[in-house]
Amino acid sequence: MTRALTIHQNNIHLFFQMLEENVGIALDHSKEYLVASRLAVIARANHFKDHHALIQHLLVNPIGILHHQSFQAMTTNETMFFRDKFPFDTLRTTIIPALIAKCRDTKTLSIWCAAASSGQEPYSLAILLRENFPELYYWKINFIATDISEPALKQARSGTYSETEIKRGLTDEQIKRYFKLLPNGQYEINAELRQMIRFESLNLVKDWPVMPKFDLILIRNVLIYFNAETKAKIFNKLRLQLVDDGGCLLLGSSESILYDQSFKVQQADRVSYYCKDVSKESLS
Please say which residue, 52 or 147, places its beta carbon nearer to ligand SAM: 147
- In whole angstroms, give the CA distance from residue 166 to residue 147: 20
Q: Which helix (H) or strand (E) holds 4?
A: helix 2-23
Residue 23 touching ligand SAM (CB under 6 A):
yes
The distance of closest approach from Cβ of residue 74 to ligand SAM in the complex, given in angstroms and rounded to an integer, is: 9
Please say which residue, 103 or 250, places its beta carbon nearer to ligand SAM: 250
Candidates 70, 90, 110, 117: give the one binding ligand SAM (CB under 6 A).
117
Q: Quick one: which of 232, 187, 178, 222 has its CA closest to 202?
A: 222
Candidates 205, 232, 268, 275: give the one binding ligand SAM (CB under 6 A).
205
Please say which residue, 103 or 189, places its beta carbon nearer to ligand SAM: 189
Question: Contact, 274 vs 242, CB < 8 A?
Answer: no
Residue 119 touching ligand SAM (CB under 6 A):
no
The DSSP output letter for 134 is: G
Candidates 124, 160, 221, 241: give the one binding ligand SAM (CB under 6 A).
221
The distance of closest approach from Cβ of residue 158 to ligand SAM in the complex, given in angstroms and rounded to an integer, is: 16
Residue 56 touching ligand SAM (CB under 6 A):
no
Count CB neighbours of 153 within 10 A: 21
Q: Which helix (H) or strand (E) holds 152?
A: helix 150-158
Count CB neighbours of 236 within 10 A: 13
Count CB neighbours of 267 within 10 A: 10
Q: Please, what is the angle between helix 2-23 and helix 32-45, to 10°?
A: 90
The distance of closest approach from Cβ of residue 24 to ligand SAM in the complex, given in angstroms and rounded to an integer, is: 4
The distance of closest approach from Cβ of residue 25 to ligand SAM in the complex, given in angstroms and rounded to an integer, is: 6
For the segment 75-94, give every residue that binds ligand SAM (CB under 6 A).
Answer: 75-79, 83
* Number of residues forming the site for ligand SAM (CB under 6 A): 25
Contacts of 141 (CB under 8 A, 6+ apart): 108, 109, 110, 111, 129, 196
Candidates 52, 220, 231, 239: give the one binding ligand SAM (CB under 6 A).
220
The region of 2-10, 34-42, 97-105, 217-225 touching ligand SAM under the rule CB under 6 A is 217-225
Candidates 147, 165, 215, 260: give the one binding ligand SAM (CB under 6 A).
147
Q: Which helix (H) or strand (E) holds 150?
A: helix 150-158
Question: Contact, 111 vs 214, CB < 8 A?
Answer: yes
Candidates 55, 96, 99, 115: give the one binding ligand SAM (CB under 6 A).
115
Question: Contact, 113 vs 146, CB < 8 A?
Answer: yes
Residue 125 touching ligand SAM (CB under 6 A):
no
Please say which residue, 136 or 156, places its beta carbon nearer to ligand SAM: 156
Between the CA atoms of 53, 54, 60 and 63, what dihedral angle is there, to the nearest 10 degrees? Answer: 180
Contact residues for ligand SAM (CB under 6 A)? 23-25, 75-79, 83, 115-117, 121, 147-149, 152, 202-205, 220-222, 252
